[in-house]
Structure 1
């Protein structure tokens, strides 16, 4: 980190010292982060517009389709916990390159699968890149761009939304152009983009002095004693529930309401496209504490208006309802930024990111699955709207807690503050914020780990 004694040193060179190759290495890391973000939702968003064709092609029920829509969430939870241990043992670039290549392989397996079981295997592989990218990117931003947190989180969040929008928009046309099994092409073509994104990570040079011995992994179970970490995990899970019900079921709901497959896919793409500028702007606003709660209430109002509009009048103004939901989904970029703001070091940020997203996705996995089960048993979507509107109430309560200005480091026994002042990230163009960072100690004493 950049020491307070060196505050006259320009931020960019000080940050560049973290990345071998100086400014060029820093630029390469930035490109790799954005390209990774571009891939984080393609495997997920490409399913909804062709869900009916997928059900028919694999011969599966609505409940099984519900499992498909919730599998990404469960994979993000389970696989994400491996992120910090892998990053502590191997170079970050190698971990993410391997994850993206596994993602490409999974997309291909899923596209050629002849059975439901093999499709699920491909889905698990395809989610490796998304799961590890989810938990590692916030800590990489903290490590390489400590004074540009808002800018970089905004950049890769916008890239994530862009990739999801393209996948949502292109899935139905690709499936139609491919004939009877065109849905396989609609799901598998994104493997090419995953391979491209892996290449910059392989080219990122090692940071000076970096080795397996210098990598640090903070004990994540310690965060179970942090009320803030628990609140962040619940908030993340509830907002992810909103997102994955939109991605997994809104297109099918619109089709069942009388719209064509292409129109439903277009509306889902519109939703994701509106998220792009939202994700680009929200992180830079979230780093300003006085804006956090007004933004939260605005997002909640958009969720309620969007869901109620879809429920009551789905074909009257579907573009408006999907756009309002897109604004509400700005809670995702908000919580990603809050993860970095509520921890003091890259190591504790990685631990908080993993716990928040891991347990959050466990919670979120229940939503899309329940929607599929309730749709299969009742033949309608009332259950879906009850689930998402109850989630909005929970989001409001937990969001109020996580927008309090505090750090998880201060809530976990044994995470003592370090004497030196360090600079942590702010929005682009703002002066750095100087805080005290923790030395993480083993319970009961022992040597520092931070």
Structure 2
């Protein structure tokens, strides 16, 4: 038996069973600096993957329902008024539930709340096809939209806190995933339903699968431990050691608890977000009908909508990266708005003859959404500030977008054509350019911008 002194003079302790399988197990129980860096990088990449997979699931609950809405109405005995309101319910839910997201993030941490939101999306999409009546169907839809709302608001906060050196790239990646989910659900939901027996229920149920995959990725991320937020992004703030609740202290020049409605930049961002959301929901709800009323076949009208939505897949990755490199995002906002104006004018002059060109122009204009997300990240200094600004701009903006599709439909029914609705959309696009240029000015809301 070795002497006690022999054990004390041993310079190389045996690895414990818990550490024997680690690369640095032979060098003691504490990992080396290189090992810690590898673990941090792995956790950061896993967080990025969870973020992108979540973004992929932020629109199929909406865009996947439209192509099957007639079958859903027939199956549930849903009235026309309720079906018409479904075009505005997403924006209303985003406004209501998105407003509480920053407060939840301060209490529980943005990563935890986004993971919980993904769970709500998964549960809502899984239960919705099983609904026996309209009330249960609407309740399940609201559950999914609540999860989408909190993720909408907090993803820019997660990017600011954990990827400050890659804001443009990460915003572009998750914006591209969001656009891909939107266009993909619109394009393949009907073929999937046909292959699965022709019933609308399996066609909607299938979209719970990618949501479940994203939820599993969040579960692994939380189990392995969320990496600390970046120190450079948290300068002047006090993060939780796990990078969860993030608070901004009341410092000279900080907004602290000052209402963002007093900030011209925050107000401009809210208006810009609301106007581009109005254009997006009008496009998703009415654009196929505009083309059909001009004589374009129904199948082609659906493909034109897919083109409009699909333009965001490549451009949503490029434009945020460009936006963060520009000192002033006004020129980019103006360029996108001019494409929208050209598309609306084309629809007024020759809707059928130049349908594909107008679809491309409106698709480019629709990429104001990822640019708005990028600007939210740029107009606040800390993750807490981004969370507050994101909640303010998105909740208020979505609330402004609620009446848009209803007003356009009412104008079309009253006038018997699309000239007056297109004139209104043109005027709103001019206003979108103006407030977007103001929101694109350099500065952060903490400095009273």
* TM-based fold match above 0.5: yes
Which residue of 2 is the match for residue 139 of structure 1?
157
Mapped partners of 1:258, 1:275: distance in 2: 26
The structure with higher relative contact order (CA 8 Å, sep 6+) is 1
Which residue of 1 is the match for residue 108 of structure 2?
90
Which residue of 1 is the match for residue 122 of structure 2?
104
Which residue of 2 is the match for residue 42 of structure 1?
60
Q: Secondary structure at the match of 1:343?
A: coil
Which residue of 2 is the match for residue 295 of structure 1?
332
Which residue of 2 is the match for residue 216 of structure 1?
247
Which residue of 2 is the match for residue 197 of structure 1?
214
Q: Is the 8 Å Cα contact of residues 109 and 245 (structure 2) preserved in structure 1?
A: no
Which residue of 2 is the match for residue 253 of structure 1?
290
Offset of 1:75 from its aligned partner? 0.7
Q: Is the 8 Å Cα contact of residues 45 and 168 (structure 1) preserved in structure 2?
A: yes
Which residue of 2 is the match for residue 129 of structure 1?
147
Mapped partners of 1:65, 1:381: distance in 2: 21
- Determine which structure has more spread, i.e. the larger CA radius of gyration: 2
Which residue of 2 is the match for residue 369 of structure 1?
406
Mapped partners of 2:119, 2:84: distance in 1: 27
Which residue of 1 is the match for residue 341 of structure 2?
304
Offset of 1:220 from its aligned partner? 6.5
- CA 1:58 to 1:213, structure 2 compared with 1: closer, same or farther past 3 Å? closer
Choose the corresponding residue for 1:225, options 254, 257, 262: 262
Q: Secondary structure at the match of 2:381?
A: coil
Offset of 1:300 from its aligned partner? 1.3
Which residue of 2 is the match for residue 160 of structure 1?
178
- Pairs aligned (count): 396
Mapped partners of 2:403, 2:283: distance in 1: 14
Which residue of 1 is the match for residue 226 of structure 2?
206
Which stretch of the first structure deviates more once superposed, 272-281 or 245-254? 245-254
Deviation per residue, 1:368-400 (Å, 9 max, x gap): 222344445555444542332221021011012
Which residue of 1 is the match for residue 91 of structure 2?
73
Mapped partners of 1:113, 1:217: distance in 2: 43
Which residue of 1 is the match for residue 431 of structure 2?
394
Offset of 1:198 from its aligned partner? 1.1
Unaligned runs of 5+ in 2: 1-32, 229-239, 250-255
- CA 1:372 to 1:351, structure 2 compared with 1: closer, same or farther past 3 Å? same
- CA 1:184 to 1:265, structure 2 compared with 1: closer, same or farther past 3 Å? farther
Mapped partners of 1:379, 1:184: distance in 2: 35
Mapped partners of 1:383, 1:37: distance in 2: 35
Q: Is the 8 Å Cα contact of residues 44 and 227 (structure 2) preserved in structure 1?
A: no
Offset of 1:32 from its aligned partner? 0.8
Deviation per residue, 1:185-239 (Å, 9 max, x gap): 3333211111111112122213455369954278776212111101110010000
TM-score of the pair, normalised by structure 2: 0.81
- CA 1:217 to 1:65, structure 2 compared with 1: closer, same or farther past 3 Å? farther
- CA 1:305 to 1:50, structure 2 compared with 1: closer, same or farther past 3 Å? farther
Mapped partners of 1:130, 1:286: distance in 2: 24
Offset of 1:116 from its aligned partner? 3.2
Q: Is the 8 Å Cα contact of residues 62 and 376 (structure 1) preserved in structure 2?
A: no
Q: How does 1:349-428 map to 2 (within 5 A)?
A: 349-375=386-412, 380-411=417-448
- CA 1:108 to 1:252, structure 2 compared with 1: closer, same or farther past 3 Å? farther
Which residue of 2 is the match for residue 338 of structure 1?
375
Query: Superposition RMSD on alpha carbons, in Å?
Result: 2.7
Q: How does 1:164-183 map to 2 (within 5 A)?
A: 164-177=182-195, 182-183=199-200
Offset of 1:260 from its aligned partner? 4.4
TM-score of the pair, normalised by structure 1: 0.80
Which residue of 1 is the match for residue 302 of structure 2?
265
Which residue of 2 is the match for residue 236 of structure 1?
273
- CA 1:133 to 1:386, structure 2 compared with 1: closer, same or farther past 3 Å? same
Which stretch of the first structure deviates more once superposed, 345-354 or 188-197? 188-197
Offset of 1:114 from its aligned partner? 4.3
1:314 aligns with 2:332: no
- CA 1:396 to 1:213, structure 2 compared with 1: closer, same or farther past 3 Å? closer
- CA 1:395 to 1:20, structure 2 compared with 1: closer, same or farther past 3 Å? farther
Mapped partners of 1:123, 1:331: distance in 2: 26
